[in-house]
């Protein structure tokens, strides 16, 4: 029976290559030999990497009976013949060792050493393997749902990965056994344990999903220049092609939205705007505010501010639900965008900035950020609508309304 047969569960290290495994086994058994015999100099450790087996042989010179000077390197003829009757004086005697020769306590100690060495190696292997895969999409099975995180098992390797709640999309609901996709965001060692963090909110997840669905991106014909997201709500993706024959937006969306639909479903109906990237700031801001149609834009390159003028019916489209569209457009273009109503109406109105002595500057800015740049544009909205679209309290909104209404009462009188 081979020496490592009772250690058979270690022969196939889950994440350890066989040569490394065999090297560890050899090292552990040489330690076992040194403890019992004081040296491992006259011992052969034979590792069979094909069979995953290992043998120990004690090698001593055969000397006449009564002439053994060093029992570490010599064996008497009668002892040698007891091992194999053909041995002669002067030959090397090979004696195979078995686990029983070492005693139960030594074997248990060796076993513990082997377990700890293998666990360390496995951890190192997991850390190195996933560190090389940061940025890759992984498919995993939900193993355990905890309060702050979800433990998932990599479908390819069986390794445990962590999907923090903070890295899940609004609308994500997982139970044990569900399959989930995410991107490997980072790998770190904590208390000597490798932690592989998976994310569904990282911009890279959307980029990799696009890469999977759009062959032109994988082939390098289309480049994803920038992605901004409010995970599960809305995303804007700027794409560019260096081949004039390729329409990057059309290629990403696919025939009748065939390519983008799968990604939208994966991201819990996240609304994804694909736009053409350009170095022309004016045009880029215009495209970033899609689906709104912009009338004109005034740029201040020094302060990176853009004043965008739109027809009244386009203002709410530019702002988007909860200011989402304009926030993402600002992130994408790296311009602070202010929205203004561009109207030909001749009715009397007052610029909201005129009320700076009665209304605090940050409140005025909040109103302007949702396209309310004049008194009438504020008064046309209900209190509920203003509260919903801004960060203002209901009481504050009612106070603002009173200030503005008084101005028009004075005008009528």
pLDDT digits (tens, 9 = 90+) for 71-86: 788 889 988 888 888 8
pLDDT digits (tens, 9 = 90+) for 147-192: 999 999 999 888 899 999 999 998 899 999 999 999 999 999 888 8
Per-residue model confidence (pLDDT) at position 131: 92
CB within 8 A of 407, min separation 6: which ones? 350, 355, 375
Class of domain 207-277: alpha beta
According to CATH, the topology of domain 133-201 is: OB fold (Dihydrolipoamide Acetyltransferase, E2P) (2.40.50)
Q: Where are the domains of the chain?
A: 5-129, 133-201, 207-277
CB within 8 A of 290, min separation 6: which ones? 273, 275
Per-residue model confidence (pLDDT) at position 391: 82
Is domain 5-129 classified as CATH 3.30.1480?
yes
3-state secondary structure of 87: coil
Looking at the chain, the whole-number percentage of residues with pLDDT higher than 70 is 92
Q: Of 258-262, 329-333, 403-407, where does mean pLDDT reach its minimum?
A: 403-407
Per-residue model confidence (pLDDT) at position 274: 95
Of 275, 281, 278, residue with least CA distance to 325:
275
Q: Is the pLDDT of residue 13 over 90?
A: no
Q: Of 57-61, 115-119, 179-183, 304-308, where does mean pLDDT reach its minimum?
A: 115-119
> For residues 248 and 244, what is the distance between their CA atoms, to the nearest angstrom?
9
> For residues 328 and 236, what is the distance between their CA atoms, to the nearest angstrom?
7
Mean pLDDT of 91-115: 81
């Amino acid at each position: 029976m081979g020496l490592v047969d009772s250690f058979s569960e270690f022969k196939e290290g889950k994440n350890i290559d066989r040569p490394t495994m065999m090297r560890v086994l050899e090292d552990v058994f040489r330690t076992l030999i040194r403890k019992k015999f004081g040296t491992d100099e006259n011992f052969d450790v034979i590792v069979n990497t094909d069979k995953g087996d290992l043998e120990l042989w004690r090698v001593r010179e055969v000397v006449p009976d009564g002439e053994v000077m060093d029992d570490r390197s010599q064996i008497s003829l009668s002892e040698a013949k007891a091992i194999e009757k053909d041995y002669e004086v002067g030959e090397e005697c090979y004696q195979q060792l078995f686990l029983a020769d070492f005693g139960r306590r030594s074997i248990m100690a060796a076993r513990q050493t082997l377990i700890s060495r293998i666990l360390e190696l496995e951890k190192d292997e997991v850390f190195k393997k996933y560190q090389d895969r940061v940025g890759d999409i992984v498919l995993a099975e939900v193993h355990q749902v905890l309060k702050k995180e979800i433990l998932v098992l990599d479908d390819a390797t069986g390794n445990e990965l962590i999907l923090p709640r903070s890295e899940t999309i609004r609308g994500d609901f997982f139970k044990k056994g569900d399959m989930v996709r995410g991107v490997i965001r980072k790998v770190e060692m904590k208390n000597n344990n490798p932690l592989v963090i998976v994310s569904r909110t990282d911009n890279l997840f959307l980029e990799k999903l696009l890469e999977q669905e759009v062959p032109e991106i994988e082939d390098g014909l289309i480049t994803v220049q920038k992605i901004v997201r409010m995970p599960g709500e809305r995303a804007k993706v700027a794409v560019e092609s260096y081949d004039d024959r390729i329409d990057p937006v059309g290629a990403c969306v696919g025939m009748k939205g065939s390519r983008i639909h799968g990604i939208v479903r994966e991201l819990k109906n996240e609304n994804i705007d694909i736009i053409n990237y350009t170095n022309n700031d004016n045009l880029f801001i215009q495209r970033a505010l899609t689906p709104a149609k912009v009338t004109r834009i005034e740029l201040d390159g020094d302060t990176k501010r853009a004043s965008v003028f739109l027809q009244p019916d386009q203002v709410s489209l530019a702002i988007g639900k909860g200011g989402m569209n304009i926030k993402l457009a600002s992130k994408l273009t790296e311009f602070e965008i202010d929205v203004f109503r561009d109207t030909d109406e001749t009715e009397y109105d007052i610029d909201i900035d005129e009320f700076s002595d009665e209304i605090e500057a940050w409140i005025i800015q909040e109103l302007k950020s949702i396209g309310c740049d004049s008194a009438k544009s504020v008064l046309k909205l209900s209190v509920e609508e203003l509260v919903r679209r801004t960060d203002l309290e209901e009481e504050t909104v009612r106070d603002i309304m009173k200030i503005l209404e008084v101005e028009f009462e004075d005008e009528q009188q």
